[in-house]
Chains A and B, each alone.
Chain A
Amino acid sequence: MEVKVISPVDKVLVQIKGRVDTTNAAQFQEELTFIMQGDMKDIELDCSELEYTSSQGLRVFLMLQKAVQGRGGKMVLTHMQTQVKEVFDITGFSNIIKIL
Chain B
Amino acid sequence: MKKRYDPISGKSGAIIEDVMATPEVDTLPFDLNMRIRLCVEEVVENVVQYAYEAGAGYMQVETTLKNGVWSIVFEDAGVPFNPLDKEDPDITLSVEERPIGGLGIFLCKQMMDHLEYNYEDGCNRLIMEKKIN
Residues of A near any B CB (own CB < 8 A) = 21-23, 51-52, 54-56, 58-59, 62-63, 65-66, 69-70, 82-83, 86-87, 90-92, 95-97
* Inter-subunit contact A63/B100 (CB<8 Å): yes
A-B contact count (CB 8 A): 67
Bound-state CA distance A63–B101 (Å) is 10
**Contact yes or no, A54 B42, CB < 8 A:** yes
A92 touches B45 (CB 8 A): no
Select A66's contact among B16, B91, B95, beta carbons within 8 Å.
B95
Across-interface contacts of A65 in B (CB, < 8 A): 95
Q: Is the contact region of chain B dominated by helix, strand, or loop, or is it mixed?
A: helix
Give the chain A neighbours of B12 by CB distance below 8 A. Answer: 22-23
Where chain A touches its partner, the secondary structure class is helix
Number of interface residues, chain B, beta carbon within 8 A:
28
Tell me if B34 counts as interface (CB < 8 A to partner A): yes
Interface residues of B (CB under 8 A from A): 12-13, 16, 30-31, 34-35, 37-38, 41-42, 45, 89, 91-96, 98, 100-101, 103-104, 106-107, 110-111
Q: A22-B12, A54-B42 are in contact. Are A90 and B107 (CB under 8 A)?
A: yes
**Which residues of chain B are within 8 angstroms of A66 by Cβ–Cβ distance?**
95-96
Task: Using known A-B contacts A52-B34, A96-B98, determine if residue A91 contacts B41 with beta carbons closer than 8 Å.
Answer: no
Shortest B90–chain A CB gap in Å is: 8
> Are A22 and B98 in contact, with the CB atoms below 8 A?
no
Q: Please, which residues of chain A bring their CB within 8 A of the CB of B107?
A: 54-55, 87, 90-91
Which residues of the partner chain A approach B37 to less than 8 Å between Cβ atoms?
52, 54
- Given the interface pairs A59-B100, A90-B110, the reply to whether A21 lies near B41 with Cβ below 8 Å is yes
Cα(A21)–Cα(B107), bound, Å: 14
Residues of A contacting B34 with CB < 8 Å?
A: 51-52, 83
When A22-B13, A22-B41, A91-B106 are in contact, do A55 and B101 touch as well, CB less than 8 Å?
yes
Given A52-B37, A54-B104, A96-B98, output 16 extra A-B contacts at Cβ < 8 Å: A22-B13, A23-B12, A54-B38, A55-B101, A55-B103, A55-B107, A56-B41, A56-B45, A62-B98, A62-B100, A66-B96, A87-B38, A90-B110, A95-B92, A96-B93, A96-B95
